Amino acid sequence: MKKKAIGQAGWLWTGLASIVAFIYFFPVLFIILTAFRSRSDTLATPPKWFFTPTFENFYHIFFRAMANSTEYVATGFHVYFFNSIYISGMSVLLALLIGTLAAYGFSRHPLRGNDTYLFIILTTRMLPPIIVIVPIFLIFRITGLAGTYTGIILMYTAFNLPFSIWMMKSFFDELNTEIEDASRMDGASERSVFFGVCIPQVKAGLAATSVFALILTWNEFLFSLLLTNKLTRTMPPAMARTIGGEINVDYGLLAAMICLFIIPIFLITYLLQNQLLRGVTFGTIKK
C-alpha cells in the first residue's frame, strides 16, 4: 500500500491549509475573474470584485469586432486551437508508440552501455531547446519543413520521446518479471508477453505518460514560435502575439484565453495526483 501522508490532522488544519491554498491560488482566481469581466470592468480602479459576469471575452477570442462597425470577423483562433490539439495529439501518439517499445527494450533487454544510452536520451531532454533550434531552423528552411505540420510534429515527437522513454521505463521496471517468465514457460511468444502481459499492467502508466506529454507539448512555446507559420501556429505563440505591442493590451481577452488553457489542467492535476511526482521528474523519481 502506498503511504500518502503522515499522521492525522483535523478540520483546523484544513482551515489553515485552505488559507494558504487560497493565497497560492489567488493569481489564477484573479485571471478567471478577469476573463468574465466586461472590458470596462477590467480597467476599473480599484478592481471590481463584484460584477455581472459576461462571456464576451470568450466570444472575442474567436470573433473580433471591427473598428467602428458592428461586424465581427473570425480571428483565426479556432485554427490555432485545432493546430494545438492536432499537433500535440499526433506527436504524443507517435512518441508514445516509439517510446514504449524503446522503454521495454531498455528495461527487459538491456544493451551494453544501457545507462549511457539512457543518459544521452535524458540529456537531449534536459538540454536547452535554444541550442537545437538554431540548426533545426536552418535544416527546416533548407528541406522546406518549416511551417508544415510534418515538421512541427516531427520536432515534438522528438521532444516527447525522451520523456516517454524514461516514464515508461520506470513503469516497466516496477513490474514483477516473474509473471512474464511464467507465461514464457507456458510457451507464450515474446509478442504475446509484451502485448498480453506487460502492456495491460502498465495501462495506467501509458495514460499518465500520454497526459503529461500532452500537457508538455500543449504548453511548448519556442519551437512553435520559430517553426510554424500563420496556418500551423499553436496556442502559446498565438497568445504571446496577442500581447504584441505594449499599449492597449486587451487583458480580458488574454485572461479568457488562459482560462481555456488552465481549466483542463486543473482537472488533470487532480486526477493524476499520485503520478505527478514521476511525471514532473521525467520518471527519474518514483517515490
Partner 1 sequence: MNNNKGFLSWFLDPSRRGPLLIAPAIIVLLLVNIIPLMWSFGLSFFKYRANTLKLPKFSWFYSYEKVLTKDNIWESLQTTAIIVAGSVGLQMILGFLLALLFASQFPLRKILLMFVLAPMMLSNVAVAIYFKLFYEPEFGLLSQFVQSFITGEMYVLLSTPAGALIGVIVADAWQWTPFVMLLVLAGLVSVPKHLYEAAEIDRMSWWRKFTTITFPYVRSLLLLAVLFRTIETVKIFDLVFILTNGGPGTATETIGVLVYRTAFQFFRTSNSAAMGYILLFAVIVLTSLYLYVIKQRESEDI
The set of cell numbers assigned to 81 is 486551437
Residue with cell 505527478: 276
268 touching partner 1, by CB under 8 A: yes
Q: How many residues belong to the site for partner 1 (CB under 8 A)?
A: 100
Q: Which of 87, 90, 136, 208 binds partner 1 (CB under 8 A)?
A: 136
Q: Give the number of other Cβ atoms within 10 Å of residue 211's Cβ.
A: 16
Q: Least Å distance between CB 126 and partner 1?
A: 5
Position 32 contacts partner 1 (CB under 8 A): no
Binding segment (CB under 8 A) for partner 1, from list 66-74, 100-108, 176-184, 198-206: 100-108
- Amino acid (1-letter code) at residue 67: A
Taking the alpha carbons at both ends of the chain, their separation in whole angstroms is 12
Quote the least distance from Cβ 269 to partner 1, whole Å: 5
Show contacts with partner 1 in window 217-256 (CB under 8 A): 218-219, 221-222, 226, 236-237, 239-240, 243, 249, 251, 254-255
Q: Residue 41 Cβ, how far from partner 1 at the closest point, in Å? A: 10
Cis, bond preceding 46 (omega within 30 deg of 0)? yes
User: What distance in Å separates the CA atoms of residue 204 and residue 171, rounded to the nearest whole number?
Assistant: 9
> Exactly one of 144, 190, 192, 230 binds partner 1 (CB under 8 A); which one?
190
Backbone angles phi, psi at 264, to 5 degrees: -60, -35
User: Which uninterrupted H or E stretch holds 74?
Assistant: strand 72-74
* Interacting residue with partner 1 among 21, 74, 207, 231 (CB under 8 A): 21
**129 touching partner 1, by CB under 8 A:** yes
**Which CB, 72 or 266, lies closer to partner 1?**
266
- Torsion on CA atoms 161, 163, 169, 172, rounded to nearest 10: -100
